[in-house]
Amino acid sequence: MKIIRSPNAMAAWSEGFIREGVKIGLVPTMGALHEGHRALIREARLRCDALVVSIFVNPTQFGPQEDLAQYPRPISQDQALCRKEGVDVCFEPTVKTMYPSGFQTMVTLPAIARRWEGEARPHHFSGVATVVTKLFGIVRPLIALFGQKDFQQSVLVRQLVKDLDLGVEIVVHPTVREADGLALSSRNIYLSPDDRIRAATLYKSLRAGAGVIREGMTDGATVQNAMVQVVKKEPTLTIDYLAVCDPTTLEPLSYVNSRAVLLGAVQLGAVRLIDNLLVAFPRRSSSRIEGFS
């Protein structure tokens, strides 16, 4: 496995392979890799010829009060995981080479980025959209893998690729969870042992909402209330939002009649947890809810 730090060297590596008709795949990450990232890497490995994993803690997607300085950076462990999974290149650019002095251009946001995470973290998606555009420009993948864990991000990236004609196929991989349902996240290491147990409440609340839909309830407010009641039983959790939304527009739904995404964000001590669950109704009699067998 090659470790490439300079964007120019990365672009030159890709150029050589593209000329030979090699299909390059990219998994963009901020490192501190876990089983969720591993699942994306494994799926990407199956779908491309040459696989690049980028590890870059992108400062433009962190707010001033957020954990940029403390964000975990276990780089040798990350490299070992990549090597084990057959990654061809670990691309680890520095902040200075990604945002050299004189850098000015930021991607502005579509409507789908304004609500939910966009409201809670005002500059976050602009930073994400900008860094993804830059990574695509440097690595020039034909395919890129993102996690459903960050549902709004995945919708935004699809829109970005479409609107800016970036020509990259976007694959969204299902969320990888702990045994109690907590979505894996690099930030879970910040949870105290007690909070780690409480953290599964967010997923429980999404399951409760999905269960109410499965029982035939179509009223959005009732579904939302079912989710809120579960979180309220755990007073250490503060609800940021729990919402029943259209999975394409991310607008709240008054009635659930085909597909919905249940979106949630809660604060638990110093940690902000986000999660989501997709609910599909192909036919009334055969509703399918992600996570239900």
Catalytic machinery residues: 37
62 token code pair: 């962190």
Give the dihedral of Cα atoms 159, 290, 53, 158; nearest 10 deg. -10
Angle CA(290)–CA(252)–CA(162) in degrees, nearest 5? Answer: 75
The secondary structure of 146-167 as a DSSP string is EEGGGHHHHHHHHHHHHHTT--
Site map for ligand AMP, 139-168, x if CB under 6 A?
Answer: -------xx-xx------------------
By CB under 6 A, is residue 30 in contact with ligand AMP? yes
Tokens 């894996």 label which residue?
Answer: 184
By CB under 6 A, is residue 79 in contact with ligand AMP? no
Q: Are strands 259-268 and 169-173 parallel, antiparallel or unpaired?
A: unpaired
Span interacting with ligand AMP, options 3-11, 173-181, 225-233, 245-253, rule CB under 6 A: 173-181
Using CB atoms within 10 A of its CB, is residue 264 exposed (0-12), middle (13-18) or buried (19+)? Answer: buried
By CB under 6 A, is residue 29 in contact with ligand AMP? yes
Q: Which residue is nearest to ligand AMP (CB)?
A: 147
By CB under 6 A, is residue 134 in contact with ligand AMP? no
By CB under 6 A, is residue 117 in contact with ligand AMP? no
Q: According to CB under 6 A, which residues from 31 to 70 bind ligand AMP?
A: 36-37, 39-40
By CB under 6 A, is residue 200 in contact with ligand AMP? no
164 token code pair: 């800016």
Which residue, 35 or 119, has its beta carbon nearer to ligand AMP? Answer: 35
Q: How many CA atoms lie within 13 A of 239 on its CB side?
A: 20
Span interacting with ligand AMP, options 28-36, 71-79, 118-126, 135-143, rule CB under 6 A: 28-36
* Residues that bind ligand AMP in the complex, under the rule CB under 6 A: 29-30, 36-37, 39-40, 146-147, 149-150, 173, 175-176, 183-186
